[in-house]
């Protein structure tokens, strides 16, 4: 009787635990309609998304130093591919500085800016969103001279 109970329990456990794993996002290239359990293996065609980010944007950049508004300025931000991999874009003239910074596309309308050296005193990182010809991004940097600096940048094509 004890062995019959053990066999029954094992069968019940296997039945419950054997949900088919796979990509459960219909927008993914490797979507599996039979998958019942997400396994974080979804793959996306980033090149299709990247084109929607590209272009010239007239932006308003609000800068905050140590949490206090410091200055606002407008300039043209140019988003390009830079001839790189499909998940990468470049933010040219960020801060109106003429410099370019790399960003990684993280979804159909979002990107992240990995930590990058700006100059001898600080690095920057951040994230952004782009849709319907509008761009919004936030950056943060720790400056050894001025302290924490953040920017809120918004604009449109």
Taking the domains of the chain in order of start, what are their residue ranges?
Answer: 46-156
The 10s digit of each residue's pLDDT in 81-122 is 877 777 889 999 999 999 999 999 888 889 999 999 877 777
Tell whether the model's pLDDT for residue 2 goes beyond 70.
no
At 1 the three-state DSSP class reads coil
Cβ contacts of 128-136, under 8 Å, gap ≥ 24: 128/103, 128/153, 130/52, 130/53, 130/79, 131/52, 133/55, 133/157, 135/53, 135/57, 135/59, 135/77, 135/79
Place of tokens 């109970």: 5
Alpha carbon of residue 59 to chain centroid: 20
CATH, domain range 46-156: 2.40.128.20
Extended strands (E) in 86-145: 88-92, 100-105, 110-117, 122-131, 134-143
pLDDT number for residue 25: 75
């Amino acid at each position: 009787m004890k062995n019959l109970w053990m066999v029954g329990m094992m069968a019940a456990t296997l039945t419950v635990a054997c949900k088919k794993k796979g990509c459960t996002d219909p927008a993914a290239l490797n979507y599996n309609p039979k998958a019942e359990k997400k396994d974080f293996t979804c793959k996306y065609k980033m090149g299709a998304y990247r084109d929607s980010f590209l272009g010239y944007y007239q932006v308003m950049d609000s800068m905050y130093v140590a949490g206090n508004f410091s200055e606002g300025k407008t300039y043209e931000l140019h988003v390009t591919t830079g001839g790189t991999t499909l998940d990468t874009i470049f933010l040219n003239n960020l801060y109106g500085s003429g410099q370019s910074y790399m960003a990684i596309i993280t979804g159909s309308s979002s990107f992240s800016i990995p930590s990058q050296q700006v100059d001898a005193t600080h690095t920057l990182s951040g994230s952004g969103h782009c849709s319907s010809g509008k761009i919004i991004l936030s950056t943060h940097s720790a400056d050894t001279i001025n302290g924490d600096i953040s920017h809120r940048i918004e604009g449109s094509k």
